[in-house]
Structure 1
Amino acid sequence: MSDPILSVRDLKVAFGTKKASNEVLHGVNFDVYPGETVAIVGESGSGKSTTMHAVINLLPGTGHITEGSVKWNGKELVGIRRQDMETIRGREIGLVPQDPMSNLNPVWSIGFQVEEAIRANGLAKSRRAVKARAIEVLEQAGLQDAERRMRQYPHQFSGGMKQRALIGIGLSAKPQLLIADEPTSALDVTVQRVVLDHLDHLTSELGTAVVFITHDLGLAAERAEKLIVMYKGNIVESGPSREILQNPQHPYTKRLVSAAPSLASRRIGADADLAPAPTSEFDIASVADDHTSKTQVGEPLIEVEDLRKVYKLRKGNFGHEDFVAVEGATFTINRGETLALVGESGSGKSTIAKMVLQLEKPTAGTIKVAGRDTSKFTARQLFELRRTLQPVFQDPYGSLDPLHNIGNTIMEPLNIHKIGDQASRKARVLELLDQVALPRELATRYPNELSGGQRQRVAVARGLALKPDILVLDEAVSALDVLVQAQILDLLAELQRDLGLTYLFITHDLAVVRLIADRVCVMQQGRIVEQATTEEVFESPREEYTQNLLAAIPGASIELGLNT
């Protein structure tokens, strides 16, 4: 075998000053060979991103290498001059950062940002040559009509298109190594497959080695030859990816593999009986008036009929055109059950969630909650409804106020609805932190001090604060690593059993649907194209679209070891 292009030995990284230093990597060793694809997996905070950011000297804040060696094509990178590192970074080692939403500047066009990278890497000199190379890069990244797309801004691109633009920028200098940090965690499975296929095609053409940083074991099994498993700043297991995932040796790897949802999984708590309907002060039957009869288990709680949503989009200077986001959606959710809405980005899932939550008004159709038509609710009745109908939003970065500490964020619904006194609210916050497996001391921390997974758990805790009857979960576990995801899904199943909660679960991860949902509605371009029990959808999908969604799941055909 040829020599490795990247060789990391006894790498140690710490954050803070010499007086108060916190070591987060404790002597990491690995090699990457030319053209090889490596996946680094582990839970949030295990040191995956820190390791690769240390390699290219992009550690955030007070992060610094304390010991060890990083050799790139035989050249030592630890301690080299900043200018020398900038020559290597981009030209020889490319990076596709984690979050396409926050890694493209919203005030600059896509073309400007691609051209900036090309100029910085010295790939072209004249303005015309830079523009031509930028168009070529975007076309290689799979964007149609690249010359027109260059004039657009990030907000005019879908998540998949933004991710492709970042991959294009990362590969623009034809680097020997590409570091892809969670390159597809925000994408639905079909877009994910297109992006990964395209990345495979480009890297194999260029002979580029790839290091995936991911929490998706299916993606690691399907796309990487070698797997590195990290836990608390150490590599605990490494070797051929399929071998490790089918026969894990280290206890932590066994835990990771057993927590990974797969298409063979069964519904969590499938054998448990539903709890009786809650009779708390939050009972939804009393929302609209002094109606006192209690809803029983299994009664329809949310009834959506012929729902339609049309947005008016500006066209030219004065005109506009209609965009139909949802058309003819009809479904029922019974008390104590979970209905999953699945489909690609832009299929209308989140739009339905917003209408159920009364954050958007339907263009046509009705939404009934506990038999009451919500379109006829007064402002006071809608306020009362929100005590029983709570959201958990998709983006753990955007849905938490950076100026509020975690305790105040979770307490906010209790303050707004004037539940209890200050002491009981604080006690409820601590109870909720326990429920979502977060340390109590995080109550005084701020969102920027938490990992993405921790922030999403805070969002779940806030959703549970009022002890609601219904939770609308919009991609609530998509940003989480498999162990935390398993904890949250177990928690949601346990809460459902104990409190008789009802869930509307919106996701693009069909393996998660198998674990959490009783029934599934598959959406395509604003319409529900298939609706059945979870078992029926997974065992014998009727629609070709559903079959394609299932086939696109990374690692769907690979048996992971220890999975139930």
Structure 2
Amino acid sequence: MSAATTGNEEQQMKPVLSVRDLRVAFKVDKAPKEVLHGVSFDVYPGETVAIVGESGSGKSTTMHAVMNLLPGTGHITAGSIDWQGRELVGIGRREMESIRGREIGLVPQDPMSNLNPVWSVGFQVEEAIRANGLAKGRKEVHARAVEVLEQAGLQNAEQRMKQFPHQFSGGMKQRALIGIGLSAEPELLIADEPTSALDVTVQRVVLDHLEHLTSQLGTAVVFITHDLGLAAERAEKLIVMYQGNIVESGPSREILERPQHPYTKRLVAAAPSLASRRIGSDATIPAAPTGTLDVAAIAEGLGSEVRPNDPVIEVSGLGKVYKIRKGSFGSEDFHAVSGATFTVNRGETMALVGESGSGKSTIAKMVLQLEKPSSGTIRIAGKETAGMSRAELFDLRRTLQPVFQDPYGSLDPLHNIGNTIMEPLHIHNVGDAASRKARVNELLDQVSLPRELATRYPNELSGGQRQRVAVARGLALKPDILVLDEAVSALDVLVQAQILDLLAELQRELGLTYLFITHDLAVVRLIADRVCVMQQGKIVEQATTDEVFENPQQEYTKNLLAAIPGAKIELGVS
């Protein structure tokens, strides 16, 4: 009896994935450059593992190597990847394709570049279901597609399937990819920043579903994430990576409550969930390690420059109606924004928060004059934008600059990074060639990117690095107003801290005004003076940041705050 029990325990303890001494190199100038230096870890059936670390630390590269999906010139130079007793290093293409999707699922980091813009979302989900042999017949495939999208938290899945990726918000596109990744109910799901584009309430729905898979089906999940709150709350095991090495691993809460490695301590000190709690309390704020965010300085700096009687952005009764196709020839009205009214004062940060699809980004596009309002008015520095000539709009855009949500879609793949950052200077004829180059170097320094990246192209950069390039481009003209649409959502906590610190410093020095669109409430607490909470296209609550966080009036706002991952977990630096 005891021998049988021991045998069962040994069987249960056998890892589903075992990686040993994995080394990966990329060819740079015809010479191999090693980016993973002997990585080893195990993933057990039903286990949830989180891999954290700054952008470029090797998180995504490690798991892409497991699936034989290394980009460009990347290749495995040494090591072993054991998948349920099968060696994946050197495996044939057809064998690997039979494992991908069915046995090992992937939710990729970037929703836009992984959804084909010419096909409807429904068609692409159905295609994945057919490829994995999950259903037969048109009706069965369609029903399964609707089911997986609903499981991934997409509302009105039946209607939404007819739409194309450009008609989805970033969060909705992310949910479609999650649905595809989960459709085959794989034994291991690799989720690369699966919730970076999701608001906290939808994030909770999706993560609850992943948890259900883990417990009911024995699915193992590997999160690649920069969200320490998510890692602490959802993962049993934490792997911390730095410069291609695993520097610390073990039980998640133990590592985040009592980090041992200096790098892990820096990560925890810079976590915005931790910072936001400190700003809201009277507790003494311990000194942050060098290079991390001085949350106290930001908290004091923001608000001190605000001049409440100097409105810069005035939005009144703003509305936007889209036509959605219905049937063969008909269409119906979709009210993306209804009656939005708010004012942003000079030197102030106004945050628009709410669920994905609530209308935040649509308002940002209308303020930037990228979309025309269906109703209402927008005044920038006292001038109504509706009647502006092309010349006036051109002048306006020099003082009003965007930082978009999707750095993959907003960076031209044919332009190197230096030319991308320099583009606004060219368009507005600012300076000569030498001064523009100097400004590019200055901006790269400000967003913590090495200057040698100026000659590289977007496909050679990680997601976080691309987001930093987008921020640098937005700052190039030294604008008066920045519209930041999820500008730090793809960044790891250390870089996020640096960017928020930079934005706060620029605001203090230059009196900049920010319209900050985000689903990350921890960041809102840190950076914003006032908050507009949006639900289904309407502003349901508007107050100072402290009032919204400490005394929310609407049930919807209370639900948003309650859904912040890891909010109740005590992180700390030992």
Fold shared per TM-score above 0.5: yes
What count of residue pairs does the alignment treat as equivalent? 545
- 2:356 equivalent in structure 1: 345
Query: 2:321 is matched with which residue: 310, 324, 330?
Result: 310
Q: Does 1:36 align with 2:65?
A: no
- Decide whether the 8 Å contact of 1:275 with 1:500 is kept in 2: no
Please tell me the residue identity of whatever aligns with 1:89.
R
Residue 381 of structure 1 pairs with residue 410 of structure 2: no
CA RMSD of aligned residues (A): 2.7
Cα distance in 2 for residues equivalent to 1:178 and 1:124: 20
The residue aligned with 1:269 is 298
> Which aligned pairs between 1:74-113 and structure 2 lie closer than 5 A?
74-110=85-121, 112-113=123-124
Partner deviation per Cα, 1:334-387 (whole Å, 9 max, x = no partner): 111111111112222122222222222333333222333333433322222222
Q: Which residue of structure 1 aligns with residue 366 of structure 2?
A: 355
Say which SS state the counterpart of residue 59 (structure 1) adopts.
coil
Match of 2:207 in 1: 196
The separation in 2 between residues aligned to 1:334 and 1:146, in whole angstroms, is: 39
Worse overlay, 349-358 or 207-216: 349-358
Match of residue 521 from structure 2: 510
TM superposition shift of 1:274: 6.9
Aligned twin of 1:475? 486
Instruction: Specify the code of the residue in structure 1 equivalent to 2:301.
Output: A
Query: Do 2:112 and 2:408's aligned partners in 1 also have CA atoms closer than 8 Å?
Result: no
Partner of 2:438: helix, strand, or coil?
Answer: helix
**SS at the partner of 2:38?**
strand
- Using a 3 Å threshold, how does the CA distance of structure 1 residues 304 and 111 change in structure 2: closer, same or farther? closer
For residues 69-468 of structure 1, the aligned pairs below 5 Å read 69-110=80-121, 112-123=123-134, 137=148, 141=152, 153-155=164-166, 159-262=170-273, 263-266=276-279, 269-272=298-301, 299-316=310-327, 319-468=330-479
Shift of 1:96: 2.0
Instruction: Return the letter of the residue paired with 2:539.
Output: I
Q: 1:419 to 1:62 in 2, by over 3 A?
A: closer
Amino acid at match of 2:265: K
Counterpart AA for 1:539:
E
- Deviation sequence 1:391-410 (CA, Å, 0-9, x none): 11111011112222222222
Whole-angstrom distance in 1 between the partners of 2:525 and 2:359:
21
- Judged with a 3 Å threshold, the aligned counterparts in structure 2 of structure 1 residues 141 and 549 are, in CA distance, closer, same or farther, namely closer
Q: Which moved more, 1:479-488 or 1:194-203?
A: 194-203
Give the alignment partner of residue 550 of structure 1, picking from 532, 549, 561.
561
Report deviation, 1:299.
2.0
Deviates further, 510-519 or 4-13 = 4-13
Deviation at 1:508, TM superposition (A): 0.8
Q: Is residue 303–residue 529 contact of structure 2 (8 Å, CA) maintained in 1?
A: no
Structure 1 gap segments, 5+ residues each:
278-295
3-state SS of 1:264 partner: helix
- Is 1:519–1:532's contact at 8 Å kept on the other side of the alignment? yes
Deviation at 1:535, TM superposition (A): 0.8
CA deviations 1:207-252 (Å, max 9, x no partner) are: 1111111111111111100000001110000011011111111111
| Aligned-partner residue type, residue 271 of structure 1 | E
Determine whether 1:49 maps to 2:60: yes
Offset, 1:506: 0.8
Give the AA of the match of 2:244.
Answer: G
Give 1:270's aligned amino acid: A
Give, in angstroms, the shift of residue 276 of structure 1.
Answer: 7.4
User: In the aligned structure 1, how far is the partner of 2:114 from the partner of 2:546?
Assistant: 39
8 Å CA contact 1:160–1:192 kept in 2: the answer is no
Write the deviation string for residues 465-498 of structure 1: whole angstroms up to 9, x where unpaired: 1111111111111111111111100000010111
Identical-residue share of aligned pairs (%) = 82
Q: Note the C-alpha offset of 1:458.
A: 1.5
Equivalent-residue separation in structure 2 for 1:450 and 1:218 (angstroms): 26
Task: Read off the aligned partner of 1:525 and give its amino acid letter.
Answer: Q
2:14 & 2:518 partners in 1: Cα distance?
A: 43
Are residues 1:12 and 2:47 paired?
A: no
Contact 2:238 2:250 (8 Å CA) reproduced: yes
- Tell me, what secondary structure is at the counterpart of 2:97? helix
- 1:515 Cα deviation from its structure 2 partner: 1.0
Deviations 1:189-221 (A, max 9, x none): 111111111121133221111111111111111
TM-score by length of 1: 0.89
Are the aligned partners of 2:172 and 2:357 in contact in 1 as well (CA < 8 Å)?
no
1:37 Cα deviation (Å)?
0.7
> Tell me, which stretches of 5 or more residues in structure 2 are unaligned?
1-8, 280-294
Distance 2:160 2:483 in 1: 35
SS at match of 2:186: coil
The one-letter code matched in structure 1 to 2:277 is A
Is the alpha carbon distance of 1:556 and 1:106 closer, same or farther for their aligned partners in structure 2, counting shifts above 3 Å?
same
Query: Following the alignment from structure 2 to structure 1, what is the Cα–Cα distance between the partners of residues 334 and 499?
Result: 35
CA distance in 2: counterparts of 1:13 and 1:56, whole angstroms: 13
| Cα distance in 2 for residues equivalent to 1:314 and 1:148 | 10
Which amino acid in the other structure matches residue 471 of structure 2?
V
Q: Give secondary structure in 1 for the equivalent of 2:407.
A: coil
Amino acid at match of 2:376: G
1:298-351 Cα deviation digits (max 9, x unpaired): 522222222233334454566543332222222221111111111112222122
Q: Which amino acid aligns with 1:504?
A: L
3-state SS, counterpart of residue 568 of structure 2: coil
Change (3 A) 1:126 1:65: same
